[in-house]
Structure 1
């Protein structure tokens, strides 16, 4: 029997499992993760408005595991033993694998002094809910929003959700008839934030900020945070409440994996999502660093595309066939504003920006239900 072990319960990990079964794989699949759930991070943007809660965004995976004949093993990965082909867990457990799919996600770089004073929404529901609770307590003040990249791997950035929180909270405050009590500021070390989306999209986003009376503090590297300030090399921004998305790096256990890492700390993969030099070890999603255009995003859509390629290549390698599957370099993003949204699409040949409309807001809400249906 050939055992495939999957690390994580992320978009990439679960899509790899679905693809393996669709491709006809009948032998054992073991999934290792701290909890048997998938959490739908993209919809955290609706938590401040009360449109989503933790239960809405968390799907238990027992039924999915049963339908796909997956053995679940609870645990956190601490490293790999290449010689024995074992996944090492913090509990001391060791899980043998014949093939390995790494889909355990990345993590945020939390090195800036005073970063404990800010809220990082994509860390999960609790961080987002804590921010929402603080916002509800304020009668007035200054709200700051920003993001940054990994300086050693500029593509390792997740800025889209910050734009959505920025515009969504502006819309929320207007609905509550208290927008005039708040100053809103967007800060970023780049003079053209969101370049992965394309120049046309950056201009549109900045124009939307200007239209909404949102101030900007651009082109200055962040130095530190305090309870009431964002301190940059170009000056200080007063803030009563700061929402900030740091740059990303690879999983903490990667340093003890013996696998090749990129300069930014991600597991290095080739165009087939294979870790070169290692037999039947693949990576998909935020854990990895991949060749391609410098605008390739860290987002669920690209993770799914990578996971499909991983599953096909693993099966080919098991059969002794050449691995040929690659993933499409593609960015699909709806920047939601709570009551509307703009669609941004990019591939190597084109960049498309479709203007703001309520249709895209409802399309994003429909996609959430459609995506999670496979796991409910």
Structure 2
């Protein structure tokens, strides 16, 4: 019996001495890294302020009632349940003590690390107008997607009872700010949703009451894509009733609408997609950060100036082979997480070949049977690109259950045009600005 107790104590002491890798963030990069550390001879701790991971590329479909939040999200504990060496902590990180190798939490606790991985993602950049966030939510969280859906659907209900065409159009006007993939996807989806609901479900609304406005400050939408794909996207959006305004800047946003280029446009809902910046994780390390708050890293993804701290995904600023920083894309984050997880699984200090990004193509869906794909040397657009977009996004979902559920719903929606997540949550607008009431400006159709 004493021998057994000694052996147990030795085993417990050995387990306590295992190298500990702490991953801050349960997104694409963080989970990919943790997954590669699964069941290795290291102790891994994943810290996230939310209990779920989220497939952000499909969040716009939650906002436009095509999918439910549960279709694209899963508890982090469930994702990592098969790995006995991984612990998940739901907490908010407020700092890092690099001297003592401690991650500081909002509740006053701290977590020891031997190697630290920062994968805290990004947030929308309101370019000095943070007060606009409550009025024009972006698409980074389930809460924001539900808030947008709440405002969209509530605006239709109010428009059904409105007394004049000008009042109806003001409520049925949606402004999407930013002509990147998120803005383009939202504009196409809102137009499709609105025209379907007007033709099928509402008795006092007409299709010409609906107005969807996509605003881009630059000379063209989808600026990261080749110009001919950008032109194709603009033509398609205009065909389905979206007004595309390029070279237009937002001057101000209020609860009733937005001032665009000096002209005020009343709107029932406003969506922000005009740019992102990395989370403020650089401050935890006492760094100023590069443009967009990203943390400079070397080709091993190690934060410059720190031997045991790494950064991934949208948080990291890594120069690619073309001399430009790698874009804030899901495929970049996932590849970096896989690379770093494999390296840290082997040894505490990475000495092998550095990370090399392999571009699998950049894509954006525009609407029904329409998408664009940029593979670098060749491009694709139209129905075939749309099918490829759907296949890729289903494949990238977290598990088979989600892939099956989303596939079935997409097929049903394609055949029937029905959207099954059109539920107005009466509590959704209580923590942010509500969909606007019918104001005098709306009644006058002020534009």
| Shared fold, TM over 0.5 | yes
Q: 1:231 aligns with which of 238, 259, 269?
A: 259
Deviation at 1:234, TM superposition (A): 5.6
Aligned partners of 2:284, 2:77: CA distance in 1, in Å?
30
- Give, in whole Å, the separation in 2 of the partners of 1:252 and 1:308: 23
Corresponding residue of 1:83: 99
Aligned equivalents of 1:112, 1:189: Cα separation in 2: 16
Structure 2 residue corresponding to 1:221, chosen from 219, 231, 249: 249
Q: Which residue of structure 2 lines up, in the alignment, with residue 112 of structure 1?
A: 129
* Rounded Cα–Cα distance in structure 2 between residues aligned with 1:331 and 1:120: 30
Q: What whole-Å deviation, never above 9, does each CA across 1:19-45 have from its counterpart, x for those lacking one?
A: 233xx7321111111233212222222
Identify the residue that residue 372 of structure 1 maps to in structure 2.
Answer: 399
Which residue does the alignment assign to 2:338?
308
SS of the counterpart of 1:197?
coil
Pick closer, same or farther for the CA change 1:367–1:174 going to 2, 3 Å. Answer: farther
Count of matched residue pairs: 360
- Alpha-carbon deviation of 1:10? 0.7
| Conservation of the 8 A alpha-carbon contact between 1:196 and 1:297 | no
Larger Rg: 2
Kept after mapping to 2: 8 A contact 1:273/1:309: no
Does the 8 Å CA contact 1:339/1:361 hold for their aligned counterparts? Answer: no
Distance 2:141 2:43 in 1: 31
Shift of 1:167: 0.6
Are 2:233 and 2:366, in contact at CA under 8 Å, matched by a contact in 1?
Answer: no
Q: Please, what TM-score do these two structures have when normalized by structure 2?
A: 0.73
- Superposed displacement of residue 195, structure 1: 1.5
- Equivalent residue for 1:323, pick from 352, 370, 378: 352
Aligned counterpart, 2:195: 174
Using the size of structure 1 for normalisation, the TM-score is 0.85
Q: How does 1:57-206 map to 2 (within 5 A)?
A: 57-69=72-84, 70-110=86-126, 111-112=128-129, 114-116=131-133, 118-137=135-154, 138=156, 139=159, 140-141=168-169, 142-147=173-178, 159-176=180-197, 177=199, 179-206=207-234
Shift of 1:3: 0.7
**When you count strand as a share of all residues, which structure comes out higher?**
1
What CA distance in whole angstroms lies between the structure 1 residues aligned with 2:63 and 2:94? Answer: 34
Aligned to 1:25: 40
What runs of 5+ residues in structure 1 fail to find an aligned partner?
149-158
User: Does the residue aligned with 1:67 lie in a helix, a strand or coil?
Assistant: coil
User: In the TM superposition, what is the alpha-carbon distance from 1:308 to its structure 2 partner?
Assistant: 1.8
Change (3 A) 1:331 1:199: farther
Whole-angstrom CA distance in 2 between matches of 1:338 and 1:129: 21
2:285 aligns to what?
257
TM-fit CA distance, 1:164: 0.9
Q: Counterpart of 1:346?
A: 375
Give the 5 Å matches for 1:288-303: 288-292=316-320, 293=322, 294=324, 296-303=326-333
| 1:191-247 Cα deviation digits (max 9, x unpaired) | 123221232321121121222232222213333211233224464444332111242
Match of 1:13 in 2: 30
Bigger mean CA offset, 289-298 vs 71-80: 289-298
**Greater alpha carbon shift after TM alignment, 256-265 vs 77-86:** 256-265
- 1:93-132, Cα deviation, whole Å (9 max, x unpaired): 1111111111121222343275145332413222222222
Deviation at 1:59, TM superposition (A): 0.7
> Deviation of residue 256 (structure 1)?
2.9
8 Å CA contact retained: 2:365, 2:389: yes
Corresponding residue number in structure 2 for 1:355: 382
Indicate if the aligned counterparts of 2:28 and 2:334 stay in contact, CA closer than 8 A.
yes
Q: Is the deviation greater in 234-243 or in 98-107?
A: 234-243
What is the Cα deviation at residue 331 of structure 1?
5.8
Matched position secondary structure for 2:375: strand
Asked if 1:332 corresponds to 2:361, the answer is yes
Query: Equivalents in 1 of 2:178, 2:319: separation in Å?
Result: 24
In the aligned structure 2, how far is the partner of 1:26 from the partner of 1:229?
A: 56
SS at match of 1:330: coil
The answer for unaligned runs of 5 or more in structure 2 is 1-17, 160-167, 200-205, 404-447
Q: What is the distance in 1 between the residues matched to 2:29 and 2:259? A: 36
The 2-side partners of 1:83 and 1:288 are apart by 21
From the two aligned structures, give the one with the greater helix fraction: 2
Q: Does the 8 Å contact 2:313/2:328 carry over to 1?
A: yes
